[in-house]
Amino acid sequence: MTPKEVLEFVKKNDIKQLDIRFTDLPGVQQHVSYPIDQLTEDSFEEGFGIDGSSIRGWAAINESDMLLIPDPNTAFIDPFFEEKTLVMIGTTIDPITRQHYERDPRWIAMKAEAYLQNTGVADTAYFGAEAEFFIFDNIRFDQNQHSGFYFIDAEEGRWNSGRAENNLGYRPRYKEGYFPVPPTDHYQELRAEMVRTMMECGLEIECHHHEVATGGQCEIDQRFNTLVKSADNMMTYKYCIRNVAYQYGKTVTFMPKPIFGDNGSGMHTHQSLWKGGKPLFAGDGYAGLSQLALYYIGGLLKHARALAAIIAPTTNSYKRLVPGYEAPVNLAYSRRNRSAAVRIPMYSSSPKAKRIEFRPPDPSSNPYLAFAAMLMAGLDGVINKIDPGESLDKDIYDLSPEEMKNVPSMPASLEEALSCLEEDHAFLLKGDVFTEELIETYIAYKRKNEADAVRLRPHPYEFALYYDI
């Protein structure tokens, strides 16, 4: 919509409030609301003032004044507020220079799209991310100087099979939750409500189902879209899922690994490049790929260890990315094989459907940064003709130790991933998409507030291991 059309939409729908949303550096959406009469055509150029000093990873207090510029193309009516509210996603600019703010994740994603066009390689990058999540009934956690614990409960959790009261059975076994019909799948109706709500907000949903783990692991798949739009949609996706669950007395988490001994949640990300309305990943090479697509894979695999700090950005991410379990930690590519970091889906022979799926990302990542970083890695592969090597069509988990020596792997911890990003980030700086200052800020924030913070605290299991040592 144009700004004028947004104002007409406001009048037609008798909207009372305006809600502008933006995303902090770690990837949590924020918002600020105004009476609707504060929105004029000039607002789409002049913006709305906010204090950026308390936003994680953003401005210092002496440079805290920011302007939020609403994007009219993102407008939708919030389905949860009682007062009729128009939502728009904003980008951030400096009120003095009128330049975009370099730590605004959405601006970074916008620059990645511009860089793609400037390279001449392609004019459009499509991203389709499959974010998995858990639905719980209760969550308790605390950490202080003398204690630390978490306690998860879910009606659907297999651990409740021995419960004495109100027990009707029908719970997925550990690692056997993929595709059961109700009543074993407890959340068909809840997911359907989530889908209906997301579609009201303008998202295109392709399917939904129960996932592998017990305890309410689910997946709802969105249709692919352009990079920035897909990142916008992912933020709306998370917002809708959390709030529908909350209305039902449930709680949702996108933590990659909340349950020990069962599958974690990934965000497998499908990607393709197009130019002039034609797909560039289809060809007569391996698995029906073009040489350009193979080079793109080469870039992803070469930079995967550095990408880890952005696409698997939490200490909890590395509870999922463990060799020998369900996660694709080995940096190889293969058709159909879900144990490879890069999978080439083979569902359709249509050139338009040809894409690659990068499997290490998880839904704790900031989608603006994650999608932009993956595109930059892939483009580096295309521009520098990086050979991805031979495909690996065996089950990687069944390879011998001798065979595994030649297969590189993802980092084993957030600290290791941050070190990899420190050493390998020149590809992100191309076209000023990421800046050196942004990467330094990101690494420092993650080290201090997450990697070091977790390392300083005793883990409950350490008492079981070492108390009597």
Known catalytic residues are: 51, 130, 132, 211, 219, 268, 338, 357, 359
Structure-block tokens of residue 98: 């009128």
Other beta carbons within 10 Å of 371: 30
Helix (H) or strand (E) holding 6: helix 3-12
Which is it for strands 205-210 and 148-153: parallel, antiparallel or unpaired? Answer: unpaired
Enumerate the H helices of 291-413 as residue ranges: 291-302, 304-311, 317-320, 367-383, 401-404
Compute and round to an integer the Cα radius of gyration of the chain. Answer: 23
In whole angstroms, what is the distance from residue 255 CA to residue 320 CA? 10
Kindly give, in sequence order, each residue whose CB lies less than 8 Å from that of residue 136, ignoring residues fewer than 6 positions away.
152, 153, 154, 215, 216, 250, 251, 252, 253, 258
Kindly give, in sequence order, each residue whose CB lies less than 8 Å from that of residue 65, ignoring residues fewer than 6 positions away.
49, 51, 52, 95
Which is it for strands 124-136 and 267-275: parallel, antiparallel or unpaired? Answer: antiparallel
Q: Could you tell me which of 392, 388, 285, 376 has the C-alpha nearest to residue 328?
A: 392
DSSP notation for 252-274: EE--S--STTS----EEEEEEEE
In whole angstroms, what is the distance from residue 21 CA to residue 5 CA? 20
Helix (H) or strand (E) holding 443: helix 436-446
